[in-house]
Structure formats: C-alpha cells, structure tokens
Structure 1
Amino acid sequence: MQIQPNRRQFLRTAGQGFLAAAAIGNGLCPTWADSKESAGGGLIYHTEVPPNAEPPIEELVKTWITPEKFFYVRSHAASPQIDADQFRLKIEGMVNHPGEISLKELMDKYPSKTVIASMTCAGNRRNEHSAVRAVDGVQWQSQAIGNASWTGIPLSEVLKAVGVQPDAKHVWFEGLDEIKKKGKTIGFGGSIPLSKAMDDTEAMPGALLTHKMNGLPLTPDHGYPLRTVVPGYIGARSVKWLGKIVVSNRTMPNHYVQDAYKLVEENTPTAWAEAGPLYRYPMNCGIARIASRSTDTQELMEVTGYALPPGNGRTLKRVEVSVNGGRSWQVAKFEREPDPYVWSLWKLEIPVRSIRGIVYARAVDSAGEAMPERVDWNMKGYMFNSWYRKAYNLRSL
C-alpha cells in the first residue's frame, strides 16, 4: 500500500584514575591491544560478531568528512541481509493513514535532502570510565565518532503525509536486525520525541530517513537499505536497517529504550526505573596526534584533534589546550567555521616546555559552557566528556 500525502563525582580520588586515564589517552589500554584490525578495512574491531569497531584516531582526523572505511561501526547483532527490491517500510500507530511503502516509492514520492552531521556512540571514551571502575560493554576509546554526508527524506515530510494524530508524542524506530536477548529474539529499537522529529531548520532536519552515506548507498554495516539519522542525538537513536515506524503517545517499550542507554549511577530497580532515555550527545573532544618540529629559533609541539559541539544546536566557540594541568590554556585553530551538529578539526602549535608530560584539551560552546574537568561514573559508561588527556614523550616521536 502506498502512503498518502547527579551524577556522583567521578574521580573524586583523581589520583587513582589519573595514571590510568593518561595511559588510555596514550593508546595503552590492554582491551585495545586485544582488538583486531580487519584486513585492509582500516578499522580495529573490539568484536567481530556482532561487528563493533573504531578507526585509529590518527586516521579519523585526516579528513573532515569521515570515509566509510574509517567510520565506526556499532551493532548489537550481525548485519541482516535485506533485498532492497522486496523491502517495505511500515508506518503504524497514531497516524491517519497507516501502511507500508517501498524504498523506490519513498524516494520517488519525497524529495531527498543531503546534510552533513556528526554521529557518536553514547559509549564513546567508555574505557576511561573502566579505568576507574570496570564497566561492561564495548571498551571504546575516543573514536566511536564520525562525520558524514547523509542523503535521505526528512522524517517530518513522511509524518505530515500520513497525518499524525493530536495526542501523539513519540516516534518509534524498529530495526530489522535479530538480537538474542534473554532467550528471546528482538530487533534493535529507538524512539525520539515527536517534537524532535518535526524540528526542521533550513540547514538541518530533525531526523532523516537515510539511504545514502557520503553519496553512496548505505553499506550493510551502516544500515542498508534504510536507516534513521537524528542530528544531535546519540547514535543509538539513529536506528539501522529501519523496518517500521510507529507513532505513539509514549516512549518505545524496546529494551534499548527502556533498559539500556540510560544514565544510572546506582544498580537499583528504583534508579533504573526513574532514569529517562538518553537523547542528546554531550560536547566532547579528542587529541589525535602530538608531534614535534624544530624552527630556527625554537622547538614546537603540534597538537591536533577533533571537537564535537553539544547536541542542543549550539556551535563550538573554541578548543583550549593546556600543558600545565589546566592552570592556563591556549586556544587552538579550527580548520573551518564551526556549525551545529558537526564536529570541528583543530590544531595548535605550542613551544616545547618539557620533553614529556600530559596535554589536556577541552571544548567550549557558543554559550560559554566548557567540558568539565571530571565527570561522574555510571553503570553503563555513557556520555564520558571530561577534559581529554594524552601523554607524550617527544624523545620517542
């Protein structure tokens, strides 16, 4: 059928976690060493089935647009095999015209829009949580992030066509993957507030039904043939292998909305029940490379990295770098003017003051808010965005 038109203080004993965090920032985490690099693929796999992988950070920041080859992969099950010719997207729930639509019909009926937006896993930098107290899950370093060009149909256009009912408040996304969980087989799911789905600007849709990444059809690992992309929200809300959209007056009952992807500090039934789903990602940054070069007059240390603005629509104002533990900061230079929902690559040259030590970096947004020096530990290791630390030894460069 065709569709009609308190956190508790993390690192309170900072000295305990400092050396571990510095080692992680310097690429010395043992879980990283245990991972495998795919043959010619460019990614380092934490798990192969399901595929969970991130690129080496030096490769990640070579280009502003992340090639698919170096874009992180986060999956909870093997990528499903889907015949695009037989594929049908179902739309149900609190709509006036429920039904289903083929990929071709979807693309023929609605004009596609191409936008550039960054995506990041809620667990990015999880191994820095684990350095203080062990956290289950993929032990991401700081490369579960990427910036891509996405082509698809604004979700708002489809919802307007099917006629959303007045009491609707949420939009559910159901994936076609098959995840084994507690003796059952479920699909991955995510939901977003209806207000977010309809919050389009000229530059950026609230959400996009995406069929291309960097100008090419999605690969299986990235959700072929159709996925959602929700700018500003954690990657878990950009559901891959999208098979069904449900409009509802409540959040989705799927495990990955109700039980996972929550910020919980105490493992009690009350804490889990009271915590709401995670939506917007936090401002963050990473140091990719520290190198040295000599001029006629001095030795310089070049520091490069990325910075992600907060998912609330603010832009980045600056990235600051410190080589003295945060007592003073120097401002890095962006490669290009910052935009909302899009990362920035940055660089700074600093006169060498010591042969070895720790470099710190933090981002500041357009409202003047800065990344915190410390964040609180939580049960799932989500949303880690304290000052980034990276150890260096110029004699070894």
Structure 2
Amino acid sequence: MKRPNLSDSTESVSLSRREMILASGVMIVGMMPVRGQAAEGPGPSGKDLIFRTTEPRNAEPRLSDLIRSWITPTKYFYVRSHAPNPEIDPGRFRLHVDGMVHKSLELSLDDLRRYPQRTITATLTCAGNRRAEFNQQAPVGGVQWQAGAIGNATWTGVALADVLQDAGVDDAARHVWMEGLDAVPHDGGTIPFGASVPIEKVRVLGDDVGALLVTHMNGHPLPVDHGYPLRAIVPGYIGARSVKWLGRITLSDRPSTNHYVATAYKIVTDTAALDWSESGPIYRYPINAAIAIPEPDAVLPPGKVEVAGYALPTGRADARIRRVWVSADGGKSWTAAELSGDDLPYCWKLWRAEVQVTPDTTELIVRASDSSGGFMPARVPWNAKGYLQNAWYRLPVRIEGADLDRKRGR
C-alpha cells in the first residue's frame, strides 16, 4: 500500500535533503511589536537559526552551534510555532484556571510572581526532531526538521501544582488541558494550540516539579518566539505539551478535545487501517542522539577524527544517559564516547569521541543507552507524520583519496 504524504495546514513545508543540509537562513517575516514586551530581543535571526518556515516561525540551529555549551543559548534554541506570534499586552494578561476545580482563577503576571519561584534545567525537543530522515523510507509531511529541534535551557516560574492547590482540584479530575493565545488556521477558521497531560504529571514529587508555568528562560524574560509572557514546561514530554503563550488551564476527567491532542501528535503507521482518533497521544519522548561534528558529507582525512554531538535520555525522572558509542565501520565496532554536562533528570548530555576512519568509511553512526533501560534501535518504523525518529543516527562522510583508491581496486 502506498503511504500518503499527509500534512497539517501548519506543517506543509518540504525541502530537498541538500537544501536542508546546506541552508544558511532565509528572509525573516517581520513580527508585530508586542505592547509592553520585556522579553529578550526581537527574536532569532537567520544568522543564528535555519528557518524551515517564516510564518509561522519554525527554525533550528546549525548542530555545531547547538553543542557549544550544555545550556543552549537562547539564540540557538529551536523555535516551533503553529501560528503567527500573538500580540499580548502583559498588563492585561490573565491566566484562566477552570473546569473541574472548586474555585476558578484569573491570574495576572503579578499574581503569578507571588507564588514560590522555581528554576529547573530541562531539555525540550520537538516530536518531529529528525523528521527528514523518514523521507528515506517514504515521504512525510510537516516541518522538515534535521536534528536541531532540541535544546537544553533553564526555566523559571511557578509550579503548576501550586496554582492548582489554590484552585482546588475535583477528585474526579484526570487530565490538565492547556490552551495558548495563538490563533492556528484550521478548517476555515482558527483554533488555539492546545495540549493536555495526565494529572499525575503535574504533581510535585521531591525535586521533580512535574510541570512549570514559565516566565523566564536562561535567566531572562521569555522571548516572544518562546511564549512570552507565559508558557508551560512539561519536562520529559514532547515539546507540543509545553504550550506557549499560555492563556487557559482546564481540569477535566478526559483528554482535551483540541485538534493537537485528539488528532495530531499521534503515531499512525497505516492511515488506511486506523482512524487518527483511535491512536493515543504522544507524551514522553524516547532516548535519542545525534552527531553535530563533523557536518554531513564532510571530507575527512584518513586516520583519527573527532566526532561530537548530543544524547537525550528517555523522558523519565530516573533516566540518565549512561553510554554513547560511535562507529566508523557500519556498526562492526564501536568506540565509547566521553560524556559532559550535569547529571540531571530530563537533561541531555554532550559527548565527544575519537574514531579511526579509513577509505572504506562512508558514514559515522552514533547510538546511546540510558539508566532506565532505554536504547536507540537500529531502525524505526515509518509513521505518517514523522514523529519520534530515534534510530541510530547516521552521518554520511567522505574520506580523502577514497575514490581514487576504489578506482585503483585497493
């Protein structure tokens, strides 16, 4: 059966492999100014990020920039949006909390500042990170991400659990719905981007805050591209569950009916046999890793070369990256990489290794494992939207003199 090339209205861009590898930025569509904006700068530029779409804004960094430091500088942090950035007056902003609660709340930014402020470090990654690799099996729609739709940042704000304690949660509530203040084109009209998470995820357990209502990123007010003035951060879950421009939280006994929960962000491998509504929503992200240095199709001298990249553990509080291995001979032998970065829940590790390349080397491969039993498979089955690609990461390279040696039969 031929697999269809499906795409949502907000995920329609498609680039060739060469364009995705070599793109160095494109013209940026200007944003409307945000009244009273205190956020950091006007937003990322083509110099720092490769824009896959400009309206809405979807961009990722060059991988060599991404791994410059364990904490990703905001200018190198990927941007994922489904609609144009909304114009929000922070003075008039209110977060609405309703549904299955004893008392509905309307909270201003000043109200939120009165709660205990918490800072966490957590890696955020798009469910579509590495999506472009699926095209090798069959075409997929959506933003054609390479391996840069990921970043590690510090996030400061209020534990969602603290706000819900003030609202008083009904015992029958099982899910927390979240809606943004953006307006996503859908079926001839617009809808807000939405998410929902099981209520167990938002509870504070020891150092795990569950979910955070964030006002600051890397020590500065959120940039508009990252959700100013308020966004959710749900560590361990795909980025789509960390709603930007957050305006409403609703407690319910069932998952949200919003399109981005009920239909999108689901794994469907056979669209003819399975209704999208029958597939469960994606929550936790899987273990993953990628090579950032060298670049794709780099020409390398034979001998020892340095390889570097990132590795992300499974989205569990007890998961930590424990091993990263690199191969230059198709997986026949593996070299253990050196890890760097703090050993914290929901955080990536950076890694480096030296491997021996020969004229027979055509690709470099990386795989990883974590403390929760997570490991990267050699292959991942195709799915219609290109989600959760976490197969061994394979980087094509060329070796100096290899073509000449092959012609001579060596």
Distance 1:369 1:207 in 2: 23
Matched, 1:30 2:19: yes
Alpha-carbon spacing, 1:264–1:333, altered in 2? closer, same or farther (3 Å): same
8 A Cα contact 1:61 1:345, kept in partner:
yes
Q: Is the 8 A contact 2:25 2:47 kept in 1?
A: no
Residue 132 of structure 1 and its aligned partner are, at CA, apart by: 1.5
Name 1:20's counterpart in structure 2. none
Is structure 2 residue 137 aligned with structure 1 residue 132? yes
Q: Give the C-alpha shift of residue 337 in structure 1.
A: 4.6
Q: 2:314 aligns with which of 301, 310, 316?
A: 310
Query: Separation in 2 of the partners of 1:394 and 1:28?
Result: 21
Q: In 2 relative to 1, CA 370–266 (structure 1 residues): closer, same or farther, beyond 3 Å?
A: same
* Partner Cα distance (1:181, 1:393) in 2: 45
Q: Are residues 1:273 and 2:277 paired?
A: yes
* 1:13 alignment counterpart: none
State whether residues 155 and 217 of structure 2, in contact with CA within 8 Å, keep that contact through their aligned partners in structure 1. Answer: yes
Matching of residues 24-173 of structure 1 within 5 Å: 28-33=17-22, 36-37=25-26, 39=45, 41-108=47-114, 110-173=115-178
Indicate how the Cα distance of structure 1 residues 215 and 193 shifts in structure 2: closer, same or farther if over 3 A, else same: same
Q: Sort the Cα spacing of 1:263 and 1:209 in 2 relative to 1 into closer, same or farther, 3 A.
A: same
> In 1, are the aligned partners of 2:314 and 2:370 still within 8 Å (CA)?
yes
Aligned residues between the structures: 368
**Which deviations, in whole Å up to 9, do the C-alpha atoms of 1:333-388 show, x marking residues without a partner?**
00135322001100001234347421110110113432000010001100000000
Query: Corresponding residue for 1:235?
Result: 239
In structure 1, how many angstroms separate the alpha carbons of the residues matched to 2:194 and 2:399?
Answer: 46
Deviation at 1:78, TM superposition (A): 0.5
1:99 and 1:305 mapped to 2: Cα distance? Answer: 44
Aligned counterpart, 1:206: 210
Counterpart of 1:280, as a letter, is R
What amino acid is aligned across from residue 386 of structure 1 in structure 2? A
Higher mean displacement: 237-246 or 269-278: 269-278
Equivalent position SS for 1:36: coil
Q: In structure 2, what is the Cα distance between the partners aligned to 1:369 and 1:270?
A: 28
Question: Could you tell which deviates more after superposition, 37-46 or 152-161?
Answer: 37-46
- Structure 2: runs of 5+ lacking an equivalent: 4-14, 29-44, 402-410
In structure 1, C-alpha distance between the alignment counterparts of 2:183 and 2:84, rounded to whole Å:
8
Q: 1:178 aligns with which of 176, 183, 186?
A: 183
> Which residue number in structure 1 is paired with residue 39 of structure 2?
none
Q: State the match for 1:289 in structure 2.
A: 293
Residues in 2 aligned to 1:126 and 1:293: alpha-carbon distance in whole angstroms: 26
Q: Compared with structure 1, are the counterparts of its residues 151 and 253 closer, same or farther at alpha carbon in structure 2 (3 Å cutoff)?
A: same
8 A contact 1:210–1:227 mirrored in 2: yes
C-alpha separation in 1, matches of 2:82 and 2:342: 35
Task: Structure 1 unaligned segments of length 5 or more: list them.
Answer: 1-7, 11-23
TM-score (norm 2): 0.85
**1:83-133 alpha-carbon deviations (Å, 9 max, x no partner):** 11110000000001112010111112x111011000000000000012221
Q: Distance in 2 between matches of 1:62 and 1:380?
A: 30
In the alignment, the residues of structure 1 paired with residue 273 and residue 232 of structure 2 have an alpha-carbon distance, to the nearest angstrom, of 31
SS of corresponding position for 1:128: helix
